[in-house]
Amino acid sequence: MENEVRKDYLLNRYVIIAAERAKRPTDFVVKAAERYVDKDCSFCPGNERLTPPADLVYLPKDGNITKEKDSDGLRHKGWVVRCFANLYPALSPHTKEVTLQNSKLHVKREAYGFHEIVVESPNHTEHPNVARLRQLGLMFDACLDLLKEFYNNESIEYAQIFRNHRKEAGASLSHAHTQIIAMPMIPRIISDEIEGSNQYYEKEGECIYCRIIDDEGKGPHLIYEGKDFLIVAPWASVHPFEFWILPKRHEPDLLGVTDSEKIDFVKTLRISLGGLAKLLNDPPYNYGFHIAPKSNKENEFYHWHLEVYPKLSIWAGFELSTGIYINGTPPEMAAESLREPIKKEMDSLTI
């Protein structure tokens, strides 16, 4: 196969698929993650005083989950999920107003927002690739609870839910955790996707993601098809072994996910990250939810999904200067490599 330049489904983003020296899974040497449990991990049970008071804790009680908050004086114990403000927030509700512009060249706004940590499990190493399904479900529920709260704040327009796995992908602590940054603006990539999906709808009369699901669902980019979700290696993958989890039902808003979809999403997340970890020796990765912003007048043709980016290559001078990316692993090859390990994860779940 020759090298090709591919355009993203909807973004004005080009990727050079470097197929001539295509990198198979065995070409990536991923060192084993450091497996030790930090003795003074501030996310571990017993160390709740090392973090700000929790904004949300899930406490098991009589077979159910009750939801509580810490106060300055009180730190709840025995939690199964725990959420609190990042000690070093990128955006914070405690910002002073700043002058919006001090010259034609210098435009700024206050760093207002929320930056929340979701500790996914009391078990330090219960990452999604090995987590119990029930635990993953609680983690996902907590993200949705926070999202709902942020979207109730009149100043917040978007909340980015994301995860950094391993130090090489930017995780400064190894305890399993997710982050949410809620902000008063719609980030560029999301607004570009919404614009692109609106344009596609105007032209073709359908949601582009629904079209992706139809087309890729029967082609070489399909990795796995479950009840409510598809795992797909996208046509113009920027990252080696990149994959997306797409809900089959058209739904812009993550808060619109049904109970039955929740269960299937968590399963799909578990097997996809499990398969990735098996294939590539638990590689570093980042993932981010792509969801409709709060004001949903313009968003009806958007379609929420999750994008997972294994961190196996370096963006160098070319990528940083041009915005054109070079991906050494064609997505068709990524899909072929990921299919078997992900199917095995599914099989082992259902035994």
Residues 322-341 as x/- pattern, contact with a copy of itself by CB under 8 A: xxx-x---------------
Retrieve residue 261's tokens: 């979809």
Q: How far is the CB of 131 from a copy of itself (least distance, A)?
A: 18
Do the bridges between strand 243-247 and strand 222-225 make them parallel or antiparallel, or are there none, so unpaired? unpaired
Dist CA 331 CA 238 (whole Å): 9
Closest approach, Cβ 18 to a copy of itself, in A, equals 6
Candidate segments 46-54, 123-131, 162-170, 223-231, binder of a copy of itself by CB under 8 A: 162-170
Q: Is 155 in the site for a copy of itself (CB under 8 A)?
A: no
Residue from the set 33, 85, 181, 223 that interacts with a copy of itself by CB under 8 A: 181
Residue placing its CB nearer to a copy of itself in the complex, 63 or 317: 317
Q: Give me the residues paired with residue 65 across strands.
A: 60
Closest approach of Cβ 203 to a copy of itself, in Å? 9
Pick 160 or 337: Cβ nearer a copy of itself: 160
What value, to the nearest 5°, has the Cα angle with vertex 236 and ends 230 and 240? 80
Instruction: Identify whether the C-beta of residue 87 lies closer than 8 Å to the C-beta of residue 49.
Output: no
Q: What is the CA radius of gyration of the chain?
A: 21
190 binds a copy of itself (CB under 8 A): yes
Query: Would you say 172 and 113 are in contact if contact means Cβ atoms under 8 Å apart?
Result: no
Q: Which of 127, 177, 221, 290 is catalytic?
A: 177
Q: Closer to a copy of itself by CB, 291 or 346: give it.
A: 291
Q: Total residues at the site for a copy of itself (CB under 8 A)? A: 74
Q: Are strands 114-119 and 64-68 parallel, antiparallel or unpaired?
A: unpaired
Q: Which residues pair with 115 in a beta bridge?
A: 181
Secondary structure class of 274 (helix, strand, coil): helix
Beta carbon nearer to a copy of itself, 265 or 287: 287
Work out whether 260 is an interface residue with a copy of itself (CB under 8 A). no
Q: Is 50 in the site for a copy of itself (CB under 8 A)?
A: no
Of residues 13 and 343, the one with the C-beta less far from a copy of itself: 13
Q: Give the single-character DSSP code of 45.
A: T
Strands 158-165 and 285-290: antiparallel
177 is catalytic: yes
Among 74, 148, 315, 349, binds a copy of itself (CB under 8 A): 315
- Applying the rule CB under 8 A, the residues between 74 and 133 that interact with a copy of itself are 88-92, 95-96, 98, 103-111
144 residue type, one letter: L
Closest CA to 195 of 8, 5, 6: 8
Please give the full DSSP string across 213-244, using - where no structure is assigned.
Answer: HHHHTTSTTEEEE-SSEEEE--TT-SSTT-EE
Q: Under the criterion CB under 8 A, does residue 309 sit at the interface with a copy of itself?
A: yes
The nearer residue to a copy of itself, 12 or 258, going by C-beta atoms, is 12
Dist CA 48 CA 73 (whole Å): 12
Q: Which stretch binds a copy of itself (CB under 8 A): 48-56, 62-70, 177-185, 295-303?
A: 177-185
Q: Known catalytic residues?
A: 177
